[in-house]
Amino acid sequence: MERLFKNAGIARSDSAELEKADVLVGGDGVVQEVVPNRGESDLEQGQVIDCTGCVLVPGMFDLHVHAREPGQEHKETLATCSAAALNGGVTGLVLMPDTSPPIDTGNLVKSLQDLVSEASPVPMFVAGCLTKRREGEELAGFSGMANRGVVMLTDSDKTVPCPDLLRRCMEYARDFDLVVTSHCDTPSLSKAGAINEGRVSYRLGLPGIPAISQEIAIDRDIRVAQHTGARLHLQQISTAHALRAIADAKATGTRVTCEVSPFHLLLSEEDIEDYNTAYKLDPPLRLPSDRDALLQGLLDDTIDAIATNHAPHTEFEKAADFGSAPFGVSGLETAVLSLYDRFIKHGVFGWDLLIRKYSDAPREIVGQKPTAIREGEKANFFVFDPNAETTIESSYLKTKSHVSPFLGKSLSGAIRETVVG
């Protein structure tokens, strides 16, 4: 059935201005027309969606998602993860390999791809492990995983401890033209920390994770990437010093990209109240000055991409005390809304930057073509109503994990529908 989206403003990555147009999507899911004032007379069998006041935005792409299946389906499944993605305007994502068992061979990659094809209407790309079982001792099966089409190699939330092993990982990844994705942490510094080390951790009596835990690891990984010539992607940047190191590396031609989460752009350690474990993230929320530096890094292109680190846990697990609760919260359904509410609505940046950072660049990092709303392409967009308001509550969330710093809060705007060709 044809669908005509009337009277919309179309957002694009190359323009700060919205294009006023009607968008006709054919029954095959392909955009047939993008024109002003498209007539409705020949749509007797079609549907007309009035988008007056709304914005059509190209679908987002998330580089950092933990869907938990296989092995941890009590936290999330591929089906609930894809439902959450669509609810949040995300039309493509990369699955982290920290499943049970971890995705460290070609056969396991194929098994996960088969599960995705059965369960998810959203394209889900598979990341493979750097080391066997993510244990940091032996190389994983790079050749088999590369042949099955993994888009990056990472031990997810674990750092490869041995620099020589990391060097060999990068050399093999370079030869297969795969991105090495690094969760930057120095375990001997982080130890059993639960929160950023500093004034708030002292006040709350919680063990802290110093900023240098991430910064030292970033410096090391950048140097190994420079030595090997490998492509390096750094996950979840959280400090101002880390940004300076990345900017310096880029200036020398190092093949490095990085991401930031919406949480680290919006929140700081000072938002943590009443030992609420919805604020327990890895890396932890840092100083307000770090948060402000991250926003500047996004604006000046030091930061390449936005990625949520969607890490669902059960409410029972997160109900533990702050020190014992697991790191991570769900993020797919709140990213666009929270970034609109804080930044786009107030003119800090526009839809064009959000599309570049949360749609175009993430796709390019893993070798995929950016998407846009234009004739001849598969429909891949969401309908955003800036005049509405969304309350983040359990009835709204499609993920299994109803744990979020935004739970119970109202955010400006609403995603009316997500269209995937």
Residues 272 and 169 in one domain: yes
Tell me if 398 is assigned to some domain.
yes
By residue range, what is the domain housing residue 333?
59-365
- CATH number of the domain at 24, please: 2.30.40.10
Per-residue pLDDT tens digits of the chain, which is 421 residues long: 899 999 999 999 999 999 999 999 999 999 999 999 887 667 767 899 999 999 999 999 999 999 999 999 999 999 999 999 999 999 999 999 999 999 999 999 999 999 999 999 999 999 999 999 999 999 999 999 999 999 999 999 999 999 999 999 999 999 999 999 999 999 999 999 999 999 999 999 999 999 999 999 999 999 999 999 999 999 999 999 999 999 999 999 999 999 999 999 999 999 998 999 999 999 999 999 999 999 999 999 999 999 999 999 999 999 999 999 999 999 999 999 999 999 999 999 999 999 999 999 999 999 999 999 999 999 999 999 999 999 999 999 999 999 999 999 999 999 999 999 8
157: tokens are: 């939330």
- CATH number of the domain at 269, please: 3.20.20.140
Tell me if 371 is assigned to some domain.
no
Residues 322 and 412 in one domain: no
Residues 42 and 63 in one domain: no
Residues 255 and 346 in one domain: yes
Residues 211 and 290 in one domain: yes
In order, the DSSP letters of 370-410 are: ---S-TTSBPEEEEEEEEEEEE--TTT--SS----TTTT-E
Residues 72 and 218 in one domain: yes
CB within 8 A of 68, min separation 6: which ones?
A: 75, 76, 77, 81, 99, 312
Distance from C-alpha of 419 to C-alpha of 421, rounded to nearest angstrom: 6
Task: Report the domain count for the chain.
Answer: 2
**For position 39, what pLDDT does the model report?**
73
Tell me if 43 is assigned to some domain.
yes
**For position 214, what pLDDT does the model report?**
98
Residues 85 and 44 in one domain: no
Residues 42 and 166 in one domain: no
CB within 8 A of 296, min separation 6: which ones?
A: none
Residues 326 and 391 in one domain: no
Domain boundary among 365, 396, 412: 365
Tell me if 40 is assigned to some domain.
yes
Tell me if 152 is assigned to some domain.
yes
Q: E strands within 276-315?
A: 305-306
Tell me if 205 is assigned to some domain.
yes
Please give the C-alpha separations between residue 176 and each of 286, 296, 311, in angstroms, as whole numbers. 36, 34, 28
Tell me if 158 is assigned to some domain.
yes
Residues 200 and 118 in one domain: yes
Q: Are 49 and 383 in contact (CB under 8 A)?
A: yes
Residues 68 and 193 in one domain: yes
Please calculate the CA angle 367-13-412 and round it to the nearest 5 degrees. Answer: 115
Q: Which single residue is written with the structure tokens 């936290």?
A: 75
Distance from C-alpha of 413 to C-alpha of 341, rounded to nearest angstrom: 7
**For position 46, what pLDDT does the model report?**
83
Domain boundary among 319, 338, 365: 365
Q: What is the pTM of this model?
A: 0.97
Integer-rounded Cα Rg, in Å, for the chain is 21
Residues 98 and 45 in one domain: no
Tell me if 370 is assigned to some domain.
no
- If one counts every other C-beta atom within 10 angstroms of the C-beta of residue 402, the result is 19
